[in-house]
Amino acid sequence: MKTIFAFISFVLFIQSSYSQGTKELTLKEIWASPTFRPEYIFGIASMKDGIHYSTLSTNEGGLKIEKHGYATSQKVADILVASEVKLPNGATLEFDDYVFNEDETMILVATESEPIYRYSTRSRYVVIDLKSKKATYLSAGKQQYAGFSPNGKHVAFVKENNLFIKDLSSEKETQVTTDGLSNNIINGASDWVYEEEFALKEAFFWSPDNSKVAFLRFDESKVKEFSMNTYGELYPGVYKFKYPKAGEDNSSVSLKVYDLPTNKTITMEVGNDMNQYLPRVKWTYSGAELSVVRLNRHQNHLELLLCNPLNGEVKTLLEEKCETYIDINDNLTFLKDGKRFIWSSELGGFNHLYLYGMDGKKINAISSGNMDVTEFYGVDEKKGLVYFQSAAPTPMDRSIYVSNLNGKSQKVLIKGTGHHAPEFSKTFDYFVLSKSSANTPVSFEMYGGDGKLIRTLESNEKLKSTLSGYATAPKEFFNFTTSAQIVLNGWMIKPPNFDAKKKYPVFMTVYGGPGHNTVENQWEGANYLWYQMLAQKGYIVVSVDNRGTQYRGEAFKKSTYKQLGKLETEDQIEAAKYLAGLTYVDGSRIGIQGWSYGGYMSSLCITKGADLFKMAIAVAPVTNWRYYDNIYTERFMQTPKENASGYDENSPINHVARLKGKYLLIHGTADDNVHFQNSAEMVTALVKANKQFDVFYYPDKNHGIYGGNTRLHLYTLMTDYILKNL
């Protein structure tokens, strides 16, 4: 009872203390103006000495890389002023990211970048000598993933699907591979599905002693091709790329090591079976061995292998098996003593960090508690301290922790409601903290390594002042218990000047899929403001995290295994029923909207929950899991051959006959992730069932549907639809 009373008291407090103006929000202000744009501190990177950091500035004087002291936060010097650098072609230097070489005498920047897929780009890389300000193009044409060797004397990069190495002193360029071919062979970069689902883009790895480069080779020759039409020209073009759908062939992936002194390449004996994955590669601290994570196709059997880079021989260091699936992360860290490493796993019920010996035996847990570790920031080996973030004190919050390597002294470094994310110095003596909450924009603060505040760097008071002039209401957190006795978390925004004696329509927003929660105590920016605008127009806006979402332990997250969409939809329907039962809700006017997995969910809700939902908007939805990629889909569903009912019973195209309410389907025709095919097939199914609906497509727009006026147009379209039909 004390917990419930404290929660209610907190809600009443934020309601009574919330500053409320009178102005109404507009879509143009939200999506096409800088009115509500927060100030950020960009490009923060600890410098080698651990007492200074560099950051990108676009203030007076144009684009600059500045050097600041952690202790004072004051600028010490301008490291690079873009206007002082002349590119070989005479163009002005423009970039949004940079990397130093080992002694911080040179930087590498990407210019003229163009997207390849959702995360990957192709750029003209420029090497800049910071003393002379001389800028040199790395190579002819454009490259991918250029990166300095550990000693800063070489740069490796990928060009036209081949791996290259450039010696910066001699200017000699060595082509390591020669068989690269578009839509066939890729060396040193990943294929589409590894990039999208394993977050692996760059696929080459320097050894610590600079003598070797390990790299993955993708043979896509047996992967089926997917094509998309492109518009804007007299004759539409066709873009083709390899996309393995559920149950279909993957790339054959092999791991190789190139030795610079001998100019020879050795293949590691990890196999190249199309039914296995190699999603992570990392050298041990000494570089004597190369580790690789190997997963089976079901992604429920993981092996951490150690490879001998001299002869390719392999041995198993660690092995995990699971009844459902195992998520991949970047937490593996080999310690300098060569005897131990840090590993994370959720097989104990929650995701935690563990210390292992190089014999593969677990020594002890580093983190503990009924909370998931959400980020691992690193280890200070001199002090024996490990820094990490956890979903605490509630699944909606993020706190920062520090623990001894022996796990015997875990303590909170930064605690409190809201989201906290630090950027540590190399020595862990300082960190820059970005923090926000559901109703408070992001701010940046400087802390000492002991967790004591030094000063505020950016509070975004101007934005807070601007917001105070608008009629808004706080985002309030709540929970309820379903008929299956499952407690679900949600948030709610009520209209300004809310009157509990009135009846209000409800607009629900949903994602609902693995890996992404919407019920977060974190500033949502433009989406938050759009929800506030809808609340101003008389809607209660709600979001609920269903079963299958994260940060409540392994069992809650993996409960949807082999039946994606079933329990999630049941929970969203339960949420609608709960809301309809509130005295101030008009239960006949409940709508729902979602994007991507959320579009899949809104499509299921308007069909399976046809008697509860009056309206639904689906943006870029999956409508049949058979159309989606195999790494993501099979992780949760196995293959269509093994689990046909799981695929078909919860695919929206098979439930269109139930549709009663208003349904708006939106998609970009150049969506390389959730293909436009999903919406085309949904239209076919709706027409076959003789169901009326609304549809809108954005030519040549990808999964993000943005660029120019696109976002303003999209949100105007959705807002008008809500006002008309809900």
Active-site annotation holder among 596, 603, 651, 679: 596
Among 68, 154, 655, 703, which one carries the catalytic annotation? 703
Q: Collect all residues with Cβ–Cβ distance below 8 Å to 582 and sequence separation of at least 6.
A: none
Bridge-based pairing of strands 662-668 and 615-619 is parallel
Q: Which residues contact 344 (CB under 8 A, 6 or more apart)?
A: 329, 331, 351, 352, 353, 354, 373, 376
Beta strands 362-365 and 352-357, pairing class? antiparallel
Q: How far apart are CA 265 and CA 407, in angstroms?
A: 41
Query: Which tokens sit at 587?
Result: 């239960």
Amino acid type, 482: T
**41 CA to centre of own chain:** 20
596 as an active site residue: the answer is: yes
Handedness of CA 712, 718, 721, 726 (dihedral sign): negative
If we measure between CA atoms, which residue out of 256, 263, 149 comes closest to residue 210?
A: 149
Measured in whole angstroms, the distance separating CA 499 from the mean position of its chain's CA atoms is: 39
CB within 8 A of 90, min separation 6: which ones?
A: none
Render 519-540 in DSSP notation, one character per residue: --SS--THHHHHHHHHHHTT-E
* Nearest alpha-carbon partner for 517 in 554, 545, 547, 486: 545
Backbone angle region of 271, left / alpha / beta, with phi > 0 → left and psi within -120 to 50 → alpha: left
145/201 Cα distance (integer angstroms): 8
Helix, strand, coil % in the chain, rounded to nearest 5: 20, 40, 45
Is 450 assigned a catalytic role?
no
Beta carbons within 10 angstroms of residue 683's beta carbon: 17
DSSP 558: G
Contact predicate 110/127, CB 8 Å: no
Q: For 670-704, give the DSSP string.
A: T-SSS-THHHHHHHHHHHHTT---EEEEETT--TT
Q: Which of 671, 672, 675, 679 is catalytic?
A: 671
For residue 23 the two structure tokens come to 């102005």
Token pair belonging to 526:
């433009």
How far is residue 388 from each of residues 402, 423, 583, measured CA to CA in Å? 6, 11, 43
Tokens of 652: 């929206």
Residue type, 461: E
| Catalytic site positions | 596, 671, 703
